[in-house]
Amino acid sequence: MPKQSFTVKIPEGLNPAQRDDFIDEVLEHIVERSKDGTGVKKTGRGFSLVSFPAYSKEYGKKGTVDLTVDGDMLDSIEAFNKKRTSAEIGYKSNNPQAGKAEGNITGSYGKPSPNKKKARNFLGMTAGELKAIEQFVKAGEA
């Protein structure tokens, strides 16, 4: 199974502690945004925000989709391959939650064929989200 991740560019001018804070804030933002029922859709230039499709009636009568049935998948998001200018955010292929993440991202949910209408991609950040986190970190609020 391939890793489920994306590369985040770390803004120039951040010192090592700020780079760590930036990555931590990205991870936290993805978790909180997902809990609010919002994910991302790839566009030609990056990502845009989208609401997650509703859960099926068979799955349960939940309100907002939050990807937190047991919390393990969102709690397992990590940063790896950290460099001065970038980091991978998501799941390494050996992460036990990588399959669940793939099912949500592609809409396959353990089936052989993905269903884009059921996909709930939560790995990615819009340019606006990254800019807000950069400003937050530079202001020393992280």
In the chain, the number of structural domains is 1
Structural domain span for residue 27 = 4-138
pTM assigned to the model: 0.86
pLDDT tens, residue by residue, 28-72: 999 999 988 899 998 988 899 999 887 666 655 555 545 665 568
What pLDDT, on the 0 to 100 scale, is given for residue 116?
87
What pLDDT, on the 0 to 100 scale, is given for residue 69?
57
Cα–Cα distance measured from residue 10 to residue 130, given in angstroms and rounded to the nearest whole number = 9
Cα–Cα distance measured from residue 97 to residue 32, given in angstroms and rounded to the nearest whole number = 18
